[in-house]
Amino acid sequence: MKRFWNEARAVPAEEGFAILLDGRPVRLPGGAPLRVQGAPLAEAVAAEWQAAGGAKDGEMRPEDVPLTRLVGTAEERIGPALEGTAAAIARYGETELLCYRAEVSRLAARQAEAWDPWLTWSARALDAPLRVTTGIMPVSQPPQALAALHRAVARHSVLGLAALGIAVPALGSLVLGLAVTGLHLEPAEAHRLATLEEAFQEEFWGVDPDSVIRRNAAAADVALAARLMRLAG
Q: What CATH number is associated with residue 33? A: 3.30.2180.10
Identify the CA nearest to 10 among candidates 144, 21, 2, 1: 21
Same structural domain for residues 197 and 115? yes
Does any domain span residue 76? no
User: In b/e form, how buried is each residue of 182-194, taking b as 16+ CB within 10 angstroms?
Assistant: beebebeebbebb
State how far the alpha carbon of 75 is from the alpha carbons of 1, 35, 79, 162, in Å: 23, 8, 5, 9
**Looking at the predicted structure, is the pLDDT value of residue 104 above 90?**
no
Average pLDDT over residues 185-191: 98
Phi, psi at 16, each rounded to 5° = 125, -135
Same structural domain for residues 39 and 140? no
Does any domain span residue 75? no
Same structural domain for residues 37 and 106? no
Same structural domain for residues 27 and 113? no
Does any domain span residue 73? no
Same structural domain for residues 60 and 89? no
Element (DSSP H or E) covering residue 57: none
Write the CATH number for 143: 1.10.3580.10
Same structural domain for residues 35 and 122? no
Full residue range of the structural domain in which residue 146 is found: 81-232
**Looking at the predicted structure, is the pLDDT value of residue 120 above 90?**
yes
Our count of domains for the chain comes to 2
Same structural domain for residues 137 and 43? no
Same structural domain for residues 59 and 98? no
> How many whole angstroms separate alpha carbon 233 and alpha carbon 14?
20
Q: Cβ(98)–Cβ(141) under 8 Å?
A: no
Q: Kindly report, residue by residue over 20-43, the tens digit of the pLDDT.
A: 999 999 999 999 999 999 999 999
Same structural domain for residues 36 and 114? no
Q: Kindly report, residue by residue over 204-231, the tens digit of the pLDDT.
A: 888 888 888 999 999 999 999 999 999 9
Same structural domain for residues 60 and 112? no
Q: What is the pTM of this model?
A: 0.95
Same structural domain for residues 58 and 86? no
Same structural domain for residues 45 and 85? no
